[in-house]
Amino acid sequence: MIKLNQLSGLERRRRLCNNKLALRVGPFVYQVHSSLLELDDGLGTLYGDFEVVDCDSFVDFTVSVKRANPLSYLKGTADFYFDHQRPFTTFNIKNAYAFFEWGLNWCISVYPNEYLTLHAGVVAKEGRATIFPGVPGAGKSTLCAALGLAGWRVLSDEHALIPPKTSTVVPVPRPVSLKNESLEVIRRFSSGAVIGPPSGDTHKGRVAHLKSDLTADAHERNPLPVHSMVFPQYSPTDEQHLSRRSQTQSFVMAAFHSFNYSELGMEGFLTMRTLIDAVRCYDLVYRDLDWAIDTMEKLNVGMLR
């Protein structure tokens, strides 16, 4: 098995430019293509530990980021391509890296239906996984990032892939996306945080990505049992607490934040029922990351109920 950081920078760039670079991301293989330096930089910084796959193997998603035509050199724009077609509108080239990462997410959000796909961060310790369903802005990415830097395994900050009728989750590790203040929070939290190319004025403000495949088992592919489902909420004012929440309400909330719950119909319901029935659901209100990590540690070893 070859990792991306085993290729020389030149070789990496050559493959990236010539559409000869394929990377394994959890259960998927992406073939990536770009001649933009930002992309090469980002891949070099953040994807060093990802497995490089032979381009003749099965490729799930073919993506590229490139300038659509000569005019885009003048305008300073680029496009994201999926299957050689453009699903999004043109963007400023300064944001190329952020759009690349969003594009990779988009592929998983839209196409695979062999899993129930929740919009959620997923972390694990001691082989037990916790799902953080995503209410945008609630602070799930910040929490994933901090836990990752504190020794937890980050399975994803965006997608919980649940195989049908199981209470397990399939890892799909990628860099964690951090926005605005959380970027500063994480920099302060750990001086050793490896952060990729920043993007300027996207619709989400400033965005950059954190290398989060830091544990030895980061790229292992076996599903992990889900231990709990925690709905995090960052709040600078409320009292910090972890409390049990209704299982049935959590069911509906997680379904609402799923990418394909309704596509799966009855199977979606049955899978969600199996999952929710096997886990305990909590609200976590936090402002201090150290407290939140400590609480998650205790929850994970059964010291909290």
Q: List contacts with another protein (CB under 8 A).
A: 29, 55-60, 62, 83-85, 87-89, 91, 99, 102-103, 105-106, 109-114, 136, 203-204, 246-249, 251-252, 255, 259-266, 269-270, 272-273, 276-277
Which residue, 92 or 233, is less far from another protein as judged by CB?
92
Task: Tell the smallest beta-carbon distance from residue 4 to another protein (Å).
Answer: 20
Q: How far is the CB of 246 from another protein (least distance, A)?
A: 5
Facing residues of 121 across strands? 132
The amino acid that residue 64 corresponds to is S
Looking at beta carbons only, is 153 or 227 nearer to another protein?
227
Residues 156 and 163: their CA atoms lie apart, in Å, by: 15
Closest contact distance (angstroms) between CB of 164 and another protein is 11
Nearest distance from residue 263's CB to another protein, in Å? 5
Between 122 and 264, CB nearer to another protein: 264
Q: Which is nearer to another protein, 5 or 19 (CB)?
A: 19
C-beta of 22 vs 284, nearer to another protein? 22
Give one DSSP letter per residue of the chain, joined into a string. -EEGGGS-HHHHHHHHHTT-EEEEETTEEEEEEE--HHHHHHHHHH-TTSEEE-TTS--SEEEEEE-SSHHHHHHTEEEEEETTB--S--EEGGGHHHHHHHHHHHHHHHS--SSEEEEEEEEEETTEEEEEE--TTSSHHHHHHHHHHTTPEEEESSEEEE-TT-SEEB----PEEEEHHHHHHHHHH-TT--B---EEEETTEEEEEE----STTTT--S-EEEEEEEEEEE-SSSPPEEEE--HHHHHHHHHHTBSSHHHHTHHHHHHHHHHHHHSEEEEEEES-HHHHHHHHHHHHTTS--
Residue closer to another protein, measured from CB, 144 or 214: 144
* Of residues 283 and 297, the one with the C-beta less far from another protein: 283
Question: Minimum CB separation from another protein for residue 197, in Å?
Answer: 17
Tell the smallest beta-carbon distance from residue 72 to another protein (Å): 14
Shortest distance, CB of residue 225 to another protein, whole angstroms? 20
